């Protein structure tokens, strides 16, 4: 006769399978795994009041990305 399966092994296998399925859905379902991304750097001479990290970047009314970082670079020669 065959031996009975250990319930602890069966439970561990089921929990592991569920965890693997959740991770797989999170990675493949987000759409970020196979998407090609590009980074652009923009310089502004004027006022950028209202620009915030996370703000949507739009091109002809279509959202194409978001602001990732804002840096300040002062050129003393231009300010005189």
The domain spans of the chain are: 7-79
Sign, CA dihedral 52-56-60-64, equals positive
Radius of gyration of the chain (CA): 25
Q: What is the mean pLDDT of the chain?
A: 84
Distance CA 44, CA 37 (A): 23
Q: What is the pLDDT of residues 66-77, one digit of tens each?
A: 899 988 877 766
Global pTM exceeds 0.85: no
Q: Is 69 left (phi over 0), alpha (psi -120 to 50) or beta?
A: beta
């Amino acid at each position: 006769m065959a031996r009975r399966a250990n319930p602890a092994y069966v439970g561990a296998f089921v929990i592991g399978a569920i965890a693997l399925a959740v991770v797989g859905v999170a990675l493949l379902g987000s759409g970020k795994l196979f998407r090609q991304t590009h980074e652009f750097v923009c310089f502004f001479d004027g006022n950028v009041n209202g620009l915030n990290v996370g703000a949507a970047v739009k091109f002809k009314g279509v959202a194409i990305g978001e602001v990732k970082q804002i840096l300040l670079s002062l050129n003393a020669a231009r300010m005189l």
